[in-house]
Amino acid sequence: MKNKIAIVGGGPSGLIAADILSANNFSVTIFDRKPTVGRKFLLAGRGGLNITHSEQQDFFVKKYGKNSQVFEKLLDSFSQNDLRNLCERLGEKTFVGSSGRVFPKSFKSSPLLRSWLTELKKQNVNFKLNHDWIGWEQDKLVFSNCGSKYIVSSDITLLALGGASWPKLGSDGSWIKILDKENIQISKIQASNCGFHIAWTDIFKQRFSGSPLKTIKLKHKNIQVRGEFIITREGVEGGIIYTLSSAIRESINDFGSAEIIIDLKPDLQIEQIKNILIKANSKSSLSTLLSKTLKLSNVAIGLIMELKKKYKGNNFNIQKLAYYIKNYKLILGKPFPIERSISTAGGVSFEAIDENFMLSNKKDTYVVGEMLDWDAPTGGYLLQACISNGAYVAKQIIKNYS
């Protein structure tokens, strides 16, 4: 007799688990609270689906910080190449971009998802949509479906309900209260890959909101990254802000704010900048001088002009000006709301699960993906982690129940 498996949540973690389990003669049903599955996966592909990253696994796993050893095990089970092979099986060849990121050739998630769902249906995976999980009754799963109660008995349950970001797409963290009642240890859910508040002047935010600050180096504590980010009316977001968001968030948790240092001309040394400005010997305005001699962008010049206003209109001497160009300090306040974040940190503690990701106090119930207390930057690391995690647990189920 086939083992009946209920997968609660139709995101990438749940879909890969369903794929592997159904291909190995398990009876799989996916339950999702929305009318369609994979909504956050589709959103991830809106600007070009970054499926994974091509860097070597030793460097890849470091992106998961304190949980790097856990993810080394998951990647050994389902690697970056395995994910690329999955895409090719589903009709989407992949390529490595100049940054090392991996994309499907179509740059879209919708063809992948359509093909995946077609394959799952061929493998007799059942889909129960508009089924909102509301807990357990005598170890049976309880769903709300169009206002009616729906009770499901399964041999094995896999919870893949996501974090709390993008709640309109289905993952709103409502599972936290359900698991709390079962005394399952949960770390506080926090925004990750998110923006942060800065008190810009009205003039600066009116002029530069929505503009990118490009070709810079950003430093927080002992971490440095190169790239770009976006100025918003409320602060900063995107790009390398997301890369550093975990470290920035922890500093804010500890101290109430976080300091970042921006190098506006990372390819020039401070002495080179001084010499360029001295040779210019220009009587032009400060903004014209910075534009003509150092080719600073309008946004970068705007930041320097903000400092000029702060110091009550006094012109900087060349030494100070060069210093600020290389060491522009910004103080970041609280993160933007979770609803605006790409992902969340926190969730089910690793102490609440065994080595197979089964809940310690809920036999035959597994937890995967963003529900767990881990964090990772954008760049393919989030999606790879969710899919590798779902694949790993599916393989452990096959090993233990076949």
pLDDT band at 39 (very low <50, low <70, confident <90, very high): very high
Let me know: does 225 contact 234? Beta carbons within 8 Å.
no
- Give the pLDDT score at 311: 59
Is 316's pLDDT higher than 80? Answer: no
Let me know: does 398 contact 24? Beta carbons within 8 Å.
yes
Is 31's pLDDT higher than 70? Answer: yes
Is 2's pLDDT higher than 70? Answer: no
pLDDT band at 278 (very low <50, low <70, confident <90, very high): confident
Strand partners, 159: 8, 367
pTM of the model: 0.91
Give tens-digit pLDDT for 379-393. 999 999 999 999 999
Let me know: does 200 contact 303? Beta carbons within 8 Å.
no
How does DSSP assign 169-192, residue by residue?
GT--STHHHHHHHTT--EEEEEEE
- Give the pLDDT score at 1: 45
For residue 252, give every residue at least 6 positions away whose Cβ sits within 8 Å of its Cβ, in sequence order, or none.
Answer: 196, 258, 332, 333, 334, 335
Chain mean pLDDT for the chain: 94
Measured in whole angstroms, the distance separating CA 185 from the mean position of its chain's CA atoms is: 23
CB count within 10 Å of CB 24 equals 15
Let me know: does 340 contact 241? Beta carbons within 8 Å.
no
* Structure token digits, residue 204: 């600066």
Task: Give the domains, in start order, of the chain with CATH numbers.
Answer: 4-191+344-401 (3.50.50.60), 196-332 (no CATH)
- Give the pLDDT score at 75: 96
Let me know: does 162 contact 15? Beta carbons within 8 Å.
no
Give tens-digit pLDDT for 149-181. 999 999 999 999 999 998 899 899 999 999 999
* Type of residue at 116: W
**Could you tell me where the beta strands, DSSP code E, fall in 178-252?**
186-192, 196-197, 212-220, 223-231, 235-237
Is 326's pLDDT higher than 50? Answer: yes
